Structure formats: structure tokens, C-alpha cells
Chains A and B, each alone.
Chain A
């Protein structure tokens, strides 16, 4: 079940999505043998408090969140978490954020070479920060500029996490591929809103939040598929994966691997169950490896 993503060999195709696995030290009960890689909670150069509560709201088959990238900043990540990651038997990529392309570059330079940091996932798609985030994700030139800024500062794998809030994801996908990305992660949350009918105002203090969970899965499969058709680099599928069959839909639709996120909130061992379910599926259908799974990926 091992896969190679942009030059990095992972022992399995099921990864922990950023923001749903903390810094890897929190989630109990997970059988870590099944974890292909982990993407850390999104981090900025400096510490951030995050948004005021309420930060989450449940919706039909999904949840809205506006955490606002609460985090300890690069120095604390280097001192408190990276040394532990260096001892683990799976790679940890850091989800990086900035308010400008140069800030992304500065953060990359700060983390590059730190033992325990195996690569970077550029977040150009967070809907829950006032500056940066989503802004870079829906403009091909800005997306490419951020990717280049990171690429110049590291030889480690660079993944770019795309936003679904675009009219043509293929345009952004090609732009960041040209700028040196090793892989794409598709997709981040959709911007959504829900109203409290007792208070006559949004249920989230930030007004809007990112929608995740099974509610977005068909939308996510389509966008991941569209991104995969547009580029030659691997695409990692994300969006509402709860079970192995959900992950297999992304894989058949052209993804090289998947990330599991919201499911971990509900079932702390979801990643292992998805991983084992994929293996059982391949076995039951007579496929000797993941690479022999049929893919539906007509080229653009």
C-alpha cells in the first residue's frame, strides 16, 4: 500500500489532514501503523490566538469551523513538537501560512532543515483569516508567487492545498505546478454560513466558516478529479472521507493518496479503519497493489 508522492515514499495512502490531528501528540487511540503521513495544524511565523467562540456549528452531514489558525508560532513548533516528530516512523509535513508571499518564504526558511520537519503543505486556502489564506488561493499569479517563495527556500517536498472557492481549479493547479509544487492537496473547506434563529445572527462569531464532512464529498471528488486532470504531479484527495469506500472514490477519480480530517473528530481511529478498508477492498477485488487499482482519469 506504499505510495510515492512527489519523491517522498509514504507507507500508506491515508494521511492525517491539517487541523484535524493537532501536532500529532493529541489524538489518542489511533493505530499509528496505518498513518501514511501527518500534516500539522496550520502555523504562522508568529503565535495567533484564533477567533472568538462560537467557532463551530454542525450542519447537515457536516460542520462549519472558524478556528482562525490558532497556533503557537514557528519557535514553539520547533522547540515543542519537531523534536518529537523526528522520532516518529512517519513523516510530518507542516501546514504553513502567511499574510504575504515573503512571509511564507520566511516561515519556510525558519523550518527548513529542522529535524522532524519532512516537508511543507502551503495553505493558500484557509477561509478563516482576515489576511492571506484564501486570497492567495483564487488568483493564479498570487498562488504561484507563494509557491515560488516557498520553493526557493527548501529542497523538501512542497505540497499546495487548494481552495474549492474558484471557478476553474485547473488554472490554479497548473499555476502552482509550474511554480514548483511537488503535489497538490484538493481540497480545503468550502466557505459556508449558518444562522442562529434565536439570536438572528450567524452561529459562528467569525460570521462564516469552512464547511467539511460528508456534505462536501461529491464536490471534493469532482474538484480533486479536475485538478488531477490538469497536472502531472500527484493530487492528494481531501473532503468528507469517513470510510474506505469514500477514499477509494478519490483514488479511482485520479488521486494518488487521501487525507482524512473531520472523520477523526468523530472516530479517533478513523484513519486506521480507512487504511485497513482500502487494503481489504484491494484484496477482495484481486489487486496486488494500490497501483493496479483502475483509475478514471481522462486527460484534459
Chain B
């Protein structure tokens, strides 16, 4: 698989929920080859030492989009970028969702920023002949992503301010293919209900290319592998959820 390191201009920015923004980058080589669930690793100069990983949200002929919230200094700096600014963009990285032809129905379950890989997942699931149901949850209506893409869309909020009151996992119908992305606690619940679901994990990440071993994912069968290389998409039952940190602190001081 080809990997590209691009000096990519920012081309667009729009808000999709409270504190949540979609940023477009001109990155033709990545746009043409990225698969749902894969990510890019972004760096700014000057900026924090390490890159920041983002699932590719959408891809067109020449552009990719990512979705982000300011959770730390690095993401705050990325959010401050305006069209015309540039970011160093490394990708596509990781192993994405496997969406082979055959199954007729897919349900996409996303929590909060877990929308990130879902537009591409909807695209690829549809291309494989599946009917797509998208279940999206957040704490409140204001935090729900305004952009969803499914034949059926189901909303869930913790406070009941929009859609079903409760979690996205509880609100989701069964389907032949289940794809999930969101906080690790949500994915652990998804793994209980659908062990065969494919989930895109979030971990701390160093290099994104498989050498630093910083993004270790504890496996049910013992040992660790790398979210950036063998992941970030896993079969839900393969992950040892009890050993995966549920809370990621982004208090980066760089």
C-alpha cells in the first residue's frame, strides 16, 4: 500500500456540532487511495513534537476531510488553521473496515467524534451493496454531528434532548455488518452486544507507521499489537477492553 507525505493546504472549514469542526485538505494522492477506517497523521510547524492522528472523514477527487474537536494544545492549533494554511499530512495509514460484497445490511454506530470514519464507511458499504443505517449518539442535541449519511438515521442523546434517550449502542438495530467508532467505553458495550462488529479504536499514538510501539492495543488472546498498523479497526471481540484505557487525557503541554 502506498504512503504519502504531503505538504497539504487547508481548503475548507465548517462547524458540524458544538465544538466540532470539519477541515478539508488538498491531498489528491491520499484522497484517491484511502479506505474507510484509515487515518492520516498531521503535523504543524511550528507545532507540537508529535503528529496527531485523524480518521479520514470524507474523500473526493483531490481533497480529504477530517473532523476534530479542540481536546488539547495540538488540536487547538489545528483548529486555528484557516484556508490557505498548510499542514504536513502523512497517510493513508492503518487497516480500515473490511466491507466485502455479500451482506445486505450495515449499521454504523458512532458516538461523539466517532462519526469520523463513518461517511467513508457508508460510501464503501453502499458500494458493496449494503443498505446503511446510521445510529449516532452524543451527550446532548448540540453535540450531535449535523452530517449523517444513511438510508435510515437514528439519533440518541444521553439527556434525551434529541432522538432516543440513552446510548447509540442501545438504540441500534441488528444488521449483518456492524461498524462502530466512539469512546472506548461505548465500543466495549458494542463488543458485548455484537462480538463480530468491526470497531475503529482510539489510542495515544506516536509515529503512526508501526515503529514506536506506543499505540499498544491489549488483545483478548494475550499480548499487544499496534493500533496504527494491525488496527485501528478491530473485531470487537478480539480486544481486551478491560485493559484498554477508557479515558484518554489530552493534557499535552508541548
Contacts and interface: CB of A to CB of B under 8 A. Distances in A.
Contact of A27 (B74, B209, B216, B254): B209
B203 interface: yes
Contacts of A265: 50-51, 206-207, 209, 211-212
Contacts of B229: 26
A202 B248 CA distance: 12
Nearest to A21: B211
Interface stretch (A95-103, A142-150, A192-200, A224-232): A192-200
Contact of A59 (B51, B90, B254): B254
Interface stretch (B14-22, B170-178, B218-226): B218-226
A212 to B, nearest CB: 9
Interface stretch (A63-71, A133-141, A245-253, A292-300): A63-71
Interface in A28-44: 28-29, 41
A113 interface: no
A50 B43 CA distance: 28
Greatest chain B CB density within 10 A among A19, A20, A22, A62 is at: A22
Greatest chain B CB density within 10 A among A20, A56, A70, A196 is at: A56
A12 to B, nearest CB: 20
A58 B253 CA distance: 7
A54 B90 CA distance: 23
B5 A29 contact: yes
A180 interface: no
Interface in B157-177: none
A39 to B, nearest CB: 12
Bin the interface of chain B by size: 35 or more
Nearest to A28: B3
Interface in B170-210: 203-207, 209-210
Nearest to A26: B210
A121 to B, nearest CB: 17
B224 to A, nearest CB: 6
Contact of A49 (B207, B224, B248): B224
B209 A56 contact: no
A28 B209 contact: yes
Contacts of B3: 28-29
Contacts of B218: 52-53
Bin the interface of chain A by size: 35 or more
A198 B251 contact: yes
B80 interface: no
Contacts of B203: 53-54
Nearest to A62: B49
A60 interface: yes
Nearest to A50: B224
Contacts of B49: 58, 61-63, 213-214, 262, 266
Nearest to A70: B213
A58 B48 contact: yes
A269 interface: yes
Contacts of B222: 49
B28 interface: no
A121 B245 CA distance: 34
Nearest to B90: A268
B50 A55 contact: no
A58 B72 CA distance: 11
Interface of A: 19-22, 26-29, 41, 49-63, 65, 67, 70, 196-199, 203, 205, 213-214, 262, 264-269
7 contacts: A19-B213, A21-B211, A65-B206, A265-B206, A266-B51, A266-B207, A268-B209
